[in-house]
């Protein structure tokens, strides 16, 4: 009897074990396989400033893209990075704010050598420029910063930099248009300027160290409605921070390629030269401006500093000779080797 019970127990146990093994096998067979997920490239070089690069923003289907000006044409940095399976920021704002200059330089250098990146180059003549920068943390402007300009408008030489601001909506592109608010103002004026773009966080920096915080330089225009600036008790922001009143570009030239305090500055209206000067006439040079501003505001990577305009503005002419800008006019500005910025008024 005991032997029979023992045989029944072993038989049941064996059947249970077989069922368990079958269930396990079935479960394993039904488990889904893990798909091959593409891993995005990651940064492989240290963060820092871009060097020996001339950068720009171009627009494709309404999307801003980071470009690098090269002997082979404009390199679409993101497209080249994808072809070469390298990491790169998507836009110039991203590059500056993430301090990804070395990553962009690595992509550009590789693209110039590798055939796989050839489709990422395009003729500059065929691109549409976007705003060079679109989302800095701040735009700080310095007024009355050329000796001859202060003289032409009858203003005392400032003892400290005169500061005001613009907003991101003021930023405008090379070959863009400035819409004149003719229902609000009539006295529209040009101001060709050197623009500083910050590359590292700067707080209370010394004049000696100030230039080490610069990512690069660009050509800008502090477009102004003089009747709003001066006719309402000194409303500089109202006269200068209107949407589209800060054309900038076409290029950001990396800092080590530029001596910012010895640059020719010119502005032409409909082909006629109106301003012709040099940053050597600065009242406060580049080091002094950066150091002074950083005492009051923390400058962050990607921030913009407009540095003032030289003599030759319409405001500085005798009242009988002041012919203000109007819809249909074309304005072109140049600052040293930074490229010519042009825009139309509508």
Rounded mean pLDDT for each run of 10 residues along the chain, 346 residues in total? 44 44 42 63 95 98 97 98 98 98 98 98 98 98 97 96 98 98 98 98 98 98 96 86 98 98 98 98 98 98 98 96 98 98 98
**pLDDT value, residue 4:** 43
Domains defined along the chain, listed by start:
54-126 (no CATH), 139-345 (3.90.850.10)
**pLDDT value, residue 39:** 79
Contact by Cβ (8 Å): 333, 219? yes
Distance CA(240)–CA(219), nearest Å, equals 17
How far is Cα of residue 256 from the mean position of the Cα atoms in its chain? 17
**pLDDT value, residue 184:** 96
> In this structure, what DSSP letter does residue 3 have?
H
How far is Cα of residue 140 from the mean position of the Cα atoms in its chain? 14
Alpha helices in 31-114 (DSSP H): 77-84, 92-97, 101-111
Distance CA(286)–CA(213), nearest Å, equals 11
**pLDDT value, residue 232:** 77
**pLDDT value, residue 19:** 38
Contact by Cβ (8 Å): 70, 108? yes
Q: What sign does the CA torsion over 238, 243, 247, 248 have?
A: positive
Contact by Cβ (8 Å): 251, 338? yes
With H, G, I as helix, E, B as strand and everything else as coil, classify residue 224: strand
């Amino acid at each position: 009897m005991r032997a029979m019970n023992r045989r029944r127990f072993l038989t049941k146990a064996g059947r249970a074990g077989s069922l368990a093994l079958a269930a396990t096998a079935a479960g394993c067979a039904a488990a889904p396989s893990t798909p091959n997920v593409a891993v995005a490239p990651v940064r492989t070089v240290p963060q820092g400033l871009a060097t020996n690069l001339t950068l720009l923003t171009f627009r494709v289907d309404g999307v801003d893209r980071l470009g690098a000006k090269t002997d082979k044409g404009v390199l679409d940095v993101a497209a080249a990075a994808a072809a070469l399976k390298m990491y790169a920021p998507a836009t110039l704002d991203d590059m500056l704010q993430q301090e990804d200059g070395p990553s962009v330089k690595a992509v550009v250098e590789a693209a110039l050598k590798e055939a796989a990146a050839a489709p990422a180059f395009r003729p500059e003549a065929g691109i549409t420029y976007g705003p060079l920068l679109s989302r800095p943390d701040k735009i700080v402007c310095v007024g009355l910063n050329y000796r001859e300009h202060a003289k032409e408008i009858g203003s005392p030489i400032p003892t400290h930099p005169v500061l005001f601001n613009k907003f991101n909506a003021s930023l405008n592109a090379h070959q863009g248009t400035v819409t004149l608010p003719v229902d609000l103002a009539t006295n529209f004026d040009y101001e060709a300027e050197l623009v500083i773009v910050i590359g590292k966080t700067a707080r209370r920096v010394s004049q000696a160290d100030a230039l080490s915080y610069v990512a690069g330089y660009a050509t800008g225009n502090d477009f102004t409605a003089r009747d709003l600036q001066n006719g309402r008790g000194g409303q500089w922001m109202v006269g200068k921070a209107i949407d589209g009143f800060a054309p900038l570009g076409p290029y950001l030239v990396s800092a080590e390629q530029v001596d910012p305090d010895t640059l020719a500055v010119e502005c032409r209206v409909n082909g006629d030269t109106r301003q012709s000067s040099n940053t050597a006439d600065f009242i406060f040079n580049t080091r002094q401006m950066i150091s002074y501003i950083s005492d009051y505001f923390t400058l962050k990577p990607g921030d913009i500093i407009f540095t003032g305009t030289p003599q030759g503005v319409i405001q500085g002419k005798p009242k009988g000779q002041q012919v203000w800008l109007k819809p249909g006019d074309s304005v072109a500005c140049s600052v040293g080797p930074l490229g010519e910025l042009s825009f139309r008024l509508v």
